[in-house]
Each structure stands twice: as C-alpha cells, then as structure tokens.
C-alpha cells in the first residue's frame, strides 16, 4: 500500500487507520 510505504512522522496514523479498517471489514464479513 502507498500509505504503508509513506515515510514521515505523519505516516503512522494513516497506516494504523488502514489496518483498523481492514480488521473492521474482516469482523463484519
């Protein structure tokens, strides 16, 4: 993912939200 590969102090939050989103999708599936 482009978000996961992004670097910088602001890269952690988007990566965390993306992982949380994927987890939510798996739970709802």
pLDDT for the residue numbered 26: 92
**Residues 29/14, Cβ–Cβ less than 8 Å:** no
> Domain containing 25: what range?
1-29
Largest Cα span, the chain? 33
pLDDT for the residue numbered 12: 75
pLDDT tens, position by position, 1-29: 555 555 666 667 888 899 999 999 999 87
pLDDT for the residue numbered 22: 95
Provide the number of structural domains found in the chain: 1
CB atoms within 10 A of CB 19: 13
pLDDT for the residue numbered 8: 63
**Residues 11/3, Cβ–Cβ less than 8 Å:** yes
Q: How many CA atoms lie within 13 A of 21 on its CB side?
A: 6
Can you point out the beta strands (E) in the chain? Answer: none
């Amino acid at each position: 993912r482009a978000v996961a590969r992004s670097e910088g102090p602001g890269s952690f939050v988007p990566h965390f939200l993306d992982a949380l989103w994927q987890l939510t999708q798996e739970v709802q599936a």
